[in-house]
Chains A and B, each alone.
Chain A
């Protein structure tokens, strides 16, 4: 028998009984065995295995698309690790983080492109981007150093907007037309041209960044950051230079973002202001929060999940599959006991066939009876698919939001019964509205994910549970 896990929220307790809660959580046998096996390997060895796996993937696949997705995952992982320094360790909200990424990219674009005829050696540009961004990071957070976190959030958000505004309008950056024909990366005569080579450059950078940050986290500074995050005033009273620590966290985050910007710009060849806007920011926050703010392994896992997930979403065929897999896995995890799982799934399937039969009978000209998105016949007689989904899809989407919110208010068996029509409605909306607008859907889901995670599981997948001792 497995006991349901406690909801994840800061717990209030009196002694180490609370602190050791995690150890008492009963897990199923395979999970426990896997955990024990994992604990036996030291963190550096675990990281070495991960890097070896990533390297082998690069050799094994010759498909350039997969290599590109791999590169994306790596550079997002590096960016998210940098953001994790600010958000996860120091506990500050940096909403202008993408601007540092953009600053690094534009530094590379101006110093290694035909724009000014400059072709600086790559290592010099990279170092300059890292240190330059770190200095800018300190300058941005200076005005708010005496203030609370909220001012920092506004100032950094505005900084991101200013950056977007400036590069989109200055003649030096060609405004919205962006900078084109950037040089490929070159290290001491070795030119990096193919996607696979970029993949390995990103991997090397990933290893360097992870090593530096891991050492940093286990140093005096890392401990000071965490104590500042837990209680800034107590940290200050213990003699820690809180303001300096905040600036330092900002500098490290900005530096990591800047150096990542250079390799991103080099691979993209042409960069535009829209590469560095809010959608990147929300993706990074989703990665850090989903993985677990403060946990490096969590952030890596988050980057993999989010980036591969977004990649799947971008084609309708994969997006359909992803939806049913996620719903299915979610139901299996959350719905206990087994008979309710069977009842809900069976009910949803039965409801689907019934609704579809009625809908096609009443409005034969507005529904698609067959040829369901190239999928099987069974699916096409389950989900109602409209010939013109623009209006009905929008209304159904609005109703779905209301229904999901309403569902969270219900309790007990009523909620499980109400889940059946909501699930079917979700499938209908997914097929008729969301799949058709993949880029918008991705951002909506990321936004919703942030809210849901903060409420249901603020520690993310691998984050440490916070224990509050009173």
Chain B
């Protein structure tokens, strides 16, 4: 007999965690789609985003007594985290990847590994090893808090922050899809992804397009960082690597370079984690192992991922 209460709660948890993975995976997929580069630093940009959100939160009075209404504060946190991370992404691209545009493929990968380490340990140096807390509990219950505490309907217990996370993830995904499908810069991005040299010859400033892609991808990761802080409370300098790895997996499962694929992959990874924690013996300890097994199975059955297209190699 299935325990429905537990199942519903696990599904909700899985979907919210999955939304965070999906957002990091989105940033990762945009960059991969254009440059065919695995940006290992994406996870660490996400971590920096979580820290920016934290500093904005404490800068405006802290979670216990914020200087302004909580919804406005949260918007500010997202704004600064996205802006800061977007700029960080552009800087990383400019200094670590652009000089390697025409190098052998392994070169930017190693450079990305270096950037990831540099960011992770710089954060350790600057912010210290201690775990910091968003204290979301206080934020939700304070005087300026939200009008309602969320939905309580049967077994479903959906706090307003969880709804916000899933909602924001969907909004960002839709906006991104529109950006790429409908705008001029989106068209330029698609052209650059198909053939960079040809795009340059058609008058597209590919350097600018790539920088823009990094800005968008990193900004989304920054938003994911703030969401992570709001939902899971505790942030430290190591969250970037762990969640970045899950997001890579999500992107690969969904089909590397595909936007809806990244979204789908993120949700699958989130749900797989939640269900393995709930239903498998000592599943929460070994949830990484289950996610990894999932990745192997998907790669064996569909090497291009669920929604990926087979890449035709040209000689």
Question: Could you give, for residues 265-285 of chain A, a 1 whenever the CB lies within 8 Å of some chain B CB and a 0 otherwise?
Answer: 000000000000010001001
Given contacts A91-B106, A451-B118, contact A166 B289 (CB under 8 A): yes
In the complex formed, the residue of A with least CB distance to B291 is A158
Say whether, besides A405-B91, A448-B118, A154 and B248 are in contact (CB < 8 Å): yes
Which residues of B98-152 are within 8 A (CB) of A?
A: 99-100, 102-111, 113-122, 124-126
Known: A454-B103, A458-B103. A444 touches B121 (CB 8 A): yes
Contact among A151, A169, A443, A454 for B299, CB-based, below 8 A: A151
The answer to whether A397 touches B103, judged by C-beta atoms less than 8 angstroms apart, is no
For B36, give the chain A residue with the smallest CB separation.
Answer: A150
B53-102, CB < 8 A from A = 91, 95-96, 99-100, 102
Chain B residues whose C-beta falls within 8 Å of the C-beta of A147 in the assembled complex: 299, 303
Residue in chain A with minimal CB distance to B295:
A158
Kindly provide the distance from the CB of B118 to the nearest chain A CB, expressed in whole angstroms. Answer: 4
B182 within 8 A of partner (CB): no
242-259 of chain B: CB within 8 A of chain A? 242, 245, 248-249, 252, 256
Instruction: Check A143–B296 contact: CB distance below 8 A.
Output: yes
Stretch at the interface among A111-119, A346-354, A358-366, A433-441: A433-441
A370 in contact (CB, < 8 A): no
The complex places the Cα of A450 from the Cα of B303 at a distance, in Å, of: 31
Chain B residues with CB under 8 Å of A87's CB are 106
- What distance in Å separates the Cβ of A213 from its nearest Cβ neighbour in chain B? 20
B249 touches A10 (CB 8 A): no
B residues near A93, Cβ cutoff 8 Å = 106, 109-110
The answer, yes or no, to whether A380 is at the interface (CB within 8 Å) is: no
Smallest beta-carbon distance B161→chain A, Å: 28
Question: How far apart are B223's CB and chain A's nearest CB, in angstroms?
Answer: 23
Q: Which listed residue, A10, A278, A394, A443, touches B126 by the CB 8 Å rule?
A: A394
A95 touches B113 (CB 8 A): yes
Q: Would you give the shortest CB distance from A226 to chain B, in whole angstroms?
A: 13
* B292 on interface, CB distance cutoff 8 Å: yes
Contact residues in B for A153 (Cβ distance below 8 Å):
38, 109
A466 interface residue per 8 A CB criterion = yes
Asked whether B207 is an interface residue with its Cβ less than 8 Å from the other chain, the reply is no
Chain A contacts for B116, CB-based, 8 A = 447
A441 surroundings in chain B (CB, below 8 A): 125
Specify which chain B residues have a CB less than 8 angstroms from the CB of A289 in the assembled complex.
Answer: 110
**Cα-based distance from A282 to B110 in the complex (angstroms):** 10
B315/A233 in contact, CB under 8 A: yes
Chain A residues positioned under 8 Å from B118 (CB to CB): 444, 447-448, 451
**Dominant secondary structure at the B interface:** helix
Query: What are the residues of chain B within 8 A of A166 when measuring CB–CB?
Result: 286, 289
List, in ascending order, chain A residues with CB within 8 A of B38's CB: 150, 153-154
Contact with B along A41-60 (1 / 0, CB 8 A): 00000000000000000000
B300 within 8 A of A: yes
By a CB distance below 8 angstroms, the chain B residues around A455 are 96, 99-100, 111
A405 touches B121 (CB 8 A): no
A440 pairs with B125, CB closer than 8 A? yes
A444–B117 CA distance with the chains assembled, in angstroms: 7
> Does A180 make an interface contact (CB < 8 A)?
no
Is there a chain A Cβ closer than 8 Å to B241's Cβ?
A: yes
**CB pair B126 A398 closer than 8 Å:** yes
Judged by a CB distance under 8 angstroms, whether A177 is at the interface is no
In the assembled complex, A408 has its CB within 8 A of some CB on chain B: yes
Range for the number of chain A residues in contact with chain B: 35 or more
A171 → chain B closest CB, angstroms:
10
Residues of A within 8 A of B126 (CB): 394, 397-398
Inter-chain contacts of B113 with A (CB < 8 A): 95, 282, 285, 447, 450
The answer on a CB contact under 8 Å between A144 and B299 is yes
Q: In the complex, are the beta carbons of B303 and A397 less than 8 A apart? A: no
A:145-200 near B, CB below 8 Å: 146-151, 153-155, 157-159, 161-162, 165-166, 169
A143 and B292 alpha carbons, distance in the complex (Å): 12
**What is the CA–CA distance of A383 and B255 in the complex, to the nearest angstrom?**
53
Residue of B nearest to A289 (CB): B110
Inter-subunit contact B109/A440 (CB<8 Å): no
Q: Is B285 interfacial (CB-CB < 8 Å)?
A: yes
Q: Give chain A interface residues in 345-403, CB to chain B under 8 Å.
A: 394, 397-398, 401
Is B96 a contact partner of A451 (Cβ separation < 8 A)?
A: yes
Residues of B within 8 A of A466 (CB): 104
Chain B: CB-nearest residue to A402: B91
Tell me, rounded to whole Å, the shortest Cβ–Cβ distance linking A10 to chain B. Answer: 7
| B288 beta carbon closer than 8 Å to chain A | yes
Within the complex, the shortest CB–CB distance from B249 to chain A, in Å, comes to 7
The listed residue with most A CB atoms (<10 A of its CB), out of B100, B117, B292, is B117
Task: Answer whether residue A410 sits at the interface, using C-beta atoms and an 8 A cutoff.
Answer: no
Q: Which residue of B lies closest to A390 (CB)?
A: B128
Inter-chain CA distance A398–B252, complex, in Å, is 34
Give Cα distance in the complex from A11 to B246, angstroms: 38
Bound together, the chains give a CA A444 to CA B115 distance in angstroms of: 9
A9 interface residue (CB < 8 Å to B): yes
Cα(A285)–Cα(B118), bound, Å: 14
Given contacts A166-B289, A451-B118, list 5 more A-B pairs with CB under 8 A: A158-B245, A397-B122, A397-B126, A450-B117, A455-B111
Closest CB pairs A-B (n = 7): A450-B114, A447-B117, A447-B118, A451-B114, A443-B121, A454-B111, A455-B99
Q: Enumerate 24 A-B pairs (CB-CB under 8 Å) in ascending A order.
A: A9-B103, A10-B104, A93-B106, A150-B38, A154-B38, A154-B252, A158-B245, A158-B248, A161-B288, A165-B288, A165-B289, A169-B286, A289-B110, A397-B126, A405-B91, A405-B95, A408-B95, A447-B115, A448-B114, A448-B118, A451-B96, A454-B100, A455-B96, A458-B107
Q: Which residue numbers of B lie inside 8 Å of A, CB to CB? A: 32, 36, 38, 91, 95-96, 99-100, 102-111, 113-122, 124-126, 241-242, 245, 248-249, 252, 256, 282, 285-286, 288-289, 292, 295-296, 299-300, 303, 311, 313, 315
